[in-house]
Structure 1
Amino acid sequence: MMLDHPGWLSEDNGRARRVLRSSGSVWSVICTPEAAGGYLVDLVRLAGDTDVAPIIDTINPLTLVGDVAVCEPLRAAGPVARVRTSDVWEALGTAVTRQVVRAATARQKYRAFCEAYGERYETAAGPAWLFPSPETVLALSDDEFDVLRMKFFRDGLRSAAEASLKAADDWAGMTGEQLVAAVQSIRRSGPWTAGVTVADVTNDYSLYPFADLAVRTWAGKLAPSVDWPKPEPEFGRLWQAMAGAQLSEWTLLTLAWGVRYATGVAL
């Protein structure tokens, strides 16, 4: 299970929990590691009256084709499942809090923001918090952002919240490519933010900024025998050419491999 989203709360025993919105309802997702490997996933509706549960996609690396140096370690790592963030606002707000800063810092600030201003729900594995609603974000004062050291993200979150209240219904009917363009039209949301947002919503990682530092870092560790270009544009062109029609799979599986490599735990 790919637990890259900062909304996941993990325990020492490997179990992880998260709450998220899906079609107007709130769901808990609890992932419990099994002795034989993998995770047992439990989806429970906590609020609302719609039965549309969050979507979980599974990517099988055995279908990969291409350079052995990249594909073999990904195949050895096994299938990866990832929960889509159903709500575009949550994905967009999360992407804004990840702008420019290191992943660990982004996770810390995201969680502090959710615990301070998001709705709390009790799950079978303990409490978890939703990302604050756009209405809540717009009601926060400058001082309230500053207390959490979120000043850098303040204007971006406010612009994203305003756009969400105006365009959420339109966003719901867009293709991934259309949504990328729509998010880029929001002030302080550029190509990186748009790609991260839409990949989180769709699990289509061909829309992710696949030449960013995270992908470049893990590609270098995954396949050190490949002469990876250091400049981002050159790396992106090579990565896209090598992955071909499997750009989404290559990118998602490499990021998942990187999380595992960095933490030393199963995804």
Structure 2
Amino acid sequence: MARTSSIVEPKGYAMTWLMLDHPAWDLDTGTPVRALRTPAGAWTFTGSPDRTATLVRGDGPAPVVDSYDPVSLPAGRVPARLAAALHRLGRVERVRNPDLWEALATAIIRQVIRAGQARKMHRAFRAAAGETAGVTWLIPTPEQTLALGAEDFAALGMAFKRRPLQAAAAAYLTHHAEWAQLAPDALVKALQAVPRIGPWTAGAAVADFTGDFSLYPYADLAVRTWAALADPSTDWPTDEPGFAARWQRLAGPHRSVLTVLTLAWGDHHAHADQGSTHH
């Protein structure tokens, strides 16, 4: 599991990288900004252009920032070149999503499209139907999502997202109190009872919500792609089952840290319009 901290300079590293993988980060101005809904109200995070620090503003307790440190990876277990790449990246900080609804809606938006397209779609959805929060917008609430018509989704280029998003919104309003009591692994299973939410979507949403990336679908194309690019000398399995088995063996109890650091390595090196498709 990740531990919580604020964004600070870590000992032994030149800097701490702020992970901007989540499509709620608006990157158009060159200064990353993100709004989050918490039980106490909205919070706004503003990252530095070089992704090494962040300022936060809001009401009530701040959202958790998780820290993932490559020094916690077991020596000799992770392939040497991958381990070296992750150590060069250094410690990674990621803002944990305090809003399960947003985590679920985001995972649905990310289904079957590239990361760059998902980011644009996420922003358009927030701007069209969400509440303003500083210079950005919050994700539309479940109620706001259910109030949108087919023509509204079509105008946003999201016609194929309407049914899964509205099914998830209705399920969230019915079950959110029950879901809040579940352990993370049980929550992954419970979410899959919602129409059009499969293992990838449920795992990605719960990882975003809990900060535990051992729940993330770690054999997906993104992890396989970044592992192979960071460490081309290793003969990585190209199929999901084979890669999953290999990843489990080499990560052991450190699967969350290894997975999120590998995704962070890709996030740091990728262009905004690059990414993978998810199912």
TM-score (norm 1): 0.91
Q: Which residue of 2 aligns with 1:38?
A: 52
SS in 2 for 1:57: strand
Q: Distance in 2 between matches of 1:128 and 1:114?
A: 8
Aligned-partner residue type, residue 220 of structure 1: A
Higher relative contact order (CA 8 A, sep 6+): 2
The unaligned stretches of length 5 or more in structure 2 are 1-17, 273-279
Q: Which residue of 2 aligns with 1:130?
A: 138
Aligned-partner residue type, residue 270 of structure 2: A
> Identical aligned pairs, as a percentage?
44
SS in 2 for 1:145: helix
Q: Distance in 2 between matches of 1:24 and 1:194?
A: 25
Q: Distance in 1 between matches of 2:255 and 2:26?
A: 29
Q: CA-atom RMSD, angstroms?
A: 1.5
Describe how 1:7-156 pairs up with structure 2 within 5 A.
7-10=24-27, 13=30, 15-32=31-48, 38-39=52-53, 41-45=54-58, 51-65=60-74, 66=77, 67-122=79-134, 127-156=135-164
Q: Which residue of 2 aligns with 1:4?
A: 21
Structure 1 stretches of 4+ with a deviation exceeding 3 A read none
Q: Distance in 2 between matches of 1:211 and 1:33?
A: 31
Q: Distance in 1 between matches of 2:154 and 2:133?
A: 25
How many equivalent pairs are there?
252
Q: Which residue of 2 aligns with 1:189?
A: 197
Aligned-partner residue type, residue 156 of structure 2: L
Q: Distance in 1 between matches of 2:26 and 2:167?
A: 27
Aligned-partner residue type, residue 20 of structure 2: L
CA drift at 1:24: 3.8
Q: Distance in 1 between matches of 2:190 and 2:161?
A: 20
CA drift at 1:12: 5.2
Q: Distance in 1 between matches of 2:88 and 2:155?
A: 45
Cα pair 1:22 1:86 within 8 Å, conserved = yes
Cα pair 2:42 2:133 within 8 Å, conserved = no
Cα deviation, 1:90-130, whole Å, max 9, x if unaligned, reads: 000011011011111111111111100000121xxxx1100
Cα pair 1:88 1:171 within 8 Å, conserved = no
Q: Which residue of 1 aligns with 2:4?
A: none
TM-score (norm 2): 0.87
